[in-house]
Structure 1
Amino acid sequence: MSGLGKKDDFTLERMRKASARAAKRANDFKLKTIAFEVMKLPSTKNPIGETAKLQVEICMMALYTCDKYLTSTKDKKIKVEEMIFFSNDVNLKASGKEIEKGVRAGEITGNAVFTARDLGNEPSNILFPEEFARRVKASGEKNGFDVKVYDMAQLEEMKMGGIIAIGKGSKNNPCLIELRYNGGRKSDAPVAIVGKGVTFDSGGVSIKPAAGMEAMKMDMCGAAATVGIFEAAAQLKLKVNLVGIIPSVENMPGGNAIKPGDIITMYNGKTVEVGNTDAEGRVILADALAFVTESKPKVIIDMATLTGATLVALGNFVTSAMSNDAELTKDMYKAGQATFERIWELPTWDDFDKLIDTDQADMSNMGTPARMAGTIVGGVFLKRYVNNYPWIHLDIAGTAMSSSSTDYSPKYATGVGVGLVTHYLREKYA
């Protein structure tokens, strides 16, 4: 039994935590089957099917383990094999259909989060850009969305200067991965999702401190979430067209690496002075954003572990958001409240935009002074590449990776972004 507290104080987050704790406790007892009663919740308007969805995905997320490379089977932690959901609602026939639909949606979303976590947790010696592209193609074939990969030769032909510049310091070539899901009408403009895919970030020549660098295999969690979202959208058969763009690189200090002071010509022809090679995410995302505008999207959503400064601003509880569109921000905020993948908007006023101006190029990839408004500076840099399309930037550096586990979010990659954006898409296009 897992208590929900006083009825008047009930929240959906209490339900999440109670469900997660119950699932974990059952697993501790090595139970293979657990059953949950699904009920209409007090103090909320949540339909019973949505409650079932919530319980399924939270139980799955709570039981997730990162044990792929353990060689001893006795160390494998998941024992639960089956979850049963039932209702005592008097209108059982209607409730049963709602619950069945909710359980299926929860299972799909839970598995999509697993995809994002698994990709985020992969070691970078195994998951480098070209291997990442192969896995995305395999996911597309399995789940029903199209994938096209642009290799180094094609990137050079396309003049993807930002992606090439960041990737050329590694022996593993960069690539650009394009995902397409066509669930809407042929004439419908797509929703664009862009995910940062740095499979390992050493910082390049502006190298990071050694302590904690092992976590930089997770600097592609935005890209991992993008894959999870496409899997969920395809399996849920959402009535929307999606285009996804993943620029995937390793940021390494090899002999061909870019250096502070270098000037890059980007895909859209703009020039960028390199102030710091560890501000690489915005450089590759800028090429990806400029590229995706050619698809004339309804909106653009980008997700990136972009700045450590977001941890200073909002900690690891909330995702920083920057946008040029109030309606998109409002919709994403609501999705964050519904899924507890909360966002908080930061301003992108012209005062901040001026911080990236520089004498020798169109802009710098660093602001001046260097430590002022770090998260916002990353956002206003990206804003220059979206060509006035409705856009929201989600800086998930604080929420995508964790050094400790919570009730339903594990240590390491959390899969954040999948639930948030999938909920947004379901509300708009289910």
Structure 2
Amino acid sequence: MKIIFEKTSIEKLKAQAYIFLCYEDKKLFKEELRLIEELLNCKIAGISLEDFEGKEKQTVLVYTDKHRIILSGLGLKEKLTLEKVRKATARGIKKIKSHKIKTVAVEILQDLTLKGVEIEDITRAQTISSLLALYSFDKYYTKKEDQEIHYIREIILFSQYNSLGKYAKEIQEGIRTGTIIGESTNMARDLGNEPSNVMIPAELARRVMALAKLNKFSAQILNKSQIEKLGMRGVLSVAQGSEHQPKFIIMEYKGGKKNDKPYVIVGKGVTFDSGGISIKPSAGMAMMKLDMGGASAVVGIFNAITQLDLKLNVIGLIPCVENMPDGKAFKPGDVIKAYNGLTIEVDNTDAEGRLILADALSYASKYKPAAVIDLATLTGASVIAIGSVASIVMGNDQKLVDEIIKAGDQTYDRVWQLPLWDEYDKMIDSDIADVRNSGVVKQAGTILAGMFLKRFIGDYPWAHLDIAATAMRSSETDYDPKNATGTGVRLVTQYLMNEGKKLKK
């Protein structure tokens, strides 16, 4: 996909369709229509707009004698947000993508009334939402008519105001960074959507190695015997019921100074979660191929930060397993020893993600990190707690949590904080080991999972992102598809971009 900024006048654009963003305010709406008529030398007045009034969620395709024009509503100007710009842009793209159009021109919204939002931010947001709206996963269809085909090969961002020409450098940077982040999010979606008979631990490891060769990071894959030597019994126990051996993936990006402390990003990589001996109900189990949402996000993040050339050192850790029932599978009542030496009573084999994260998070201490962030589709309880509107964040360092919340607000890949109060800690005490992997009471399931992870944190700032509610969807939204969403890529990449900017000051 090619996305460019064109400073030339609109009549010289070689586009087959034009997308304009319209306010609901009657005066502004009428002014926009008049301006479109002047710019494109066409008549919209008198053409049916199908009750289009510029309201949020409204989109209409208009045919004039010369042009295809898509109008997408922003709602009232006084209530404008950057997310409404994203959604209006995405709806416009989706409206036209099934038509046989290769080049579409998209209006850059020039509105400097958005607090703290620069033209580069607007351009990045529109670029990302355009790419996310075009996503489809149809590689396994054998009939062409079943595939979701879009013909768009080029998006031209333009402005109806000549004044935007002076912001050309900022607009170009917004397109560059937006393209990288959008494509990296779609990469994470692809990984998550692969069927679990294809995306086994060895296949994910293979794809990471292939990606490392194309980008500026190194990768190391630890096999079962190496994992055994390290004493990562959490990873090994979860994997022992599967015929597919575990992998522990280490990614390393050296964009900062040699002695700069690295940021460590950890992703839960359960390529399929049957629940093990504590087997899940059959309804919805097919979606458990998406239980590697954290791992796919880490891969997408690394694809993004290396191309963005961030001046940071970043480590990626992915414990990768398949959780299956078998005669050799681990069982409720087992006691296992994690990498840091703590013993864990297994109460529920379907609470396996926290076991492999326990090893990875304690292993992260060896890097003496500036901060550690883990992403995991960890608890179904998170869906009950706050629904699929946002991910959940918890941590031991409020400054880090606040920075993640800020990045979430910037990208709309949002998070909501839950507490890790001491009173919750006793709820995961075990009678026979240091800790048990599920609570003794049936409450606060998401928090108790966070409290479990906290037991394995070293001396570093840490934030846990439970993305179980947001990494997969049962139906599409304006720019999120059904199934894998790539949640976490935009959020953590933005956080790291913000950290990189701090170092420049």
Q: Same fold (TM over 0.5)?
A: yes
Q: Percent identity?
A: 51
Larger relative contact order (CA 8 Å, sep ≥ 6): 1
**Residue 7 in 1 paired to residue 7 in 2?**
no
**Residue 410 in 1 paired to residue 410 in 2?**
no
- Matched with 2:143 is 72
Secondary structure, aligned partner of 1:194: strand
Secondary structure, aligned partner of 1:3: strand
Q: Is the 8 A contact 1:147 1:178 kept in 2?
A: yes
Seen in structure 2, the aligned counterparts of structure 1 residues 81 and 278 have a Cα distance that, compared at 3 Å, is same
Question: Structure 2: how far apart are the matches of 1:227 and 1:5?
Answer: 36
**Residue 373 in 1 paired to residue 444 in 2?**
yes
What is the CA-CA distance between 1:367 and the residue it aligns to?
0.6
- Matched with 1:34 is 104
Q: Deviations over 1:185-221 (max 9, x none)?
A: 0000000100000000000000000010000000001
Q: Deviations over 1:296-326 (max 9, x none)?
A: 1000000000000000001011111111111
**Residue 51 in 1 paired to residue 122 in 2?**
yes
**Residue 303 in 1 paired to residue 375 in 2?**
yes
Q: Is the 8 A contact 2:365 2:459 kept in 1?
A: no
- Matched with 1:312 is 384
**Structure exhibiting the larger radius of gyration computed from Cα positions:** 2
- Normalised TM-score (structure 1): 0.98
Aligned length: 429
| Matching of residues 232-381 of structure 1 within 5 Å | 232-369=304-441, 371-381=442-452
Structure 1 vs Structure 2 CA RMSD: 1.1
Q: Deviations over 1:148-185 (max 9, x none)?
A: 00000101111111000000110000110000001000
Question: Structure 2: how far apart are the matches of 1:186 and 1:50?
Answer: 31
Q: Deviations over 1:224-252 (max 9, x none)?
A: 00000011000000010000100000000
- Matched with 1:226 is 298
- Normalised TM-score (structure 2): 0.84
Question: Structure 1: how far apart are the matches of 2:457 and 2:315?
Answer: 15
Aligned with 1:23 (options 93, 117, 132): 93
Question: Structure 2: how far apart are the matches of 1:195 and 1:409?
Answer: 21
| Matching of residues 130-279 of structure 1 within 5 Å | 130-279=202-351
Q: Is the 8 A contact 1:57 1:110 kept in 2?
A: yes
Question: Structure 2: how far apart are the matches of 1:44 and 1:30?
Answer: 38
| Aligned amino acid, residue 402 of structure 1 | R
Question: Structure 1: how far apart are the matches of 2:459 and 2:258?
Answer: 23
Secondary structure, aligned partner of 1:261: coil
What is the CA-CA distance between 1:28 and the residue it aligns to?
2.7
5+ residue gaps, structure 1, are none
What is the CA-CA distance between 1:29 and the residue it aligns to?
2.6
Q: Is the 8 A contact 2:293 2:377 kept in 1?
A: yes
| Aligned amino acid, residue 69 of structure 1 | Y
What is the CA-CA distance between 1:50 and the residue it aligns to?
1.6
Q: Deviations over 1:378-430 (max 9, x none)?
A: 00100111113100000000000000000100000000000000111111115
- Matched with 1:109 is 181
5+ residue gaps, structure 2, are 1-70
Question: Structure 2: how far apart are the matches of 1:39 and 1:279?
Answer: 46
Question: Structure 2: how far apart are the matches of 1:39 and 1:16?
Answer: 10
Instruction: Identify which range, 196-205 or 253-262, moves more after superposition.
Output: 253-262
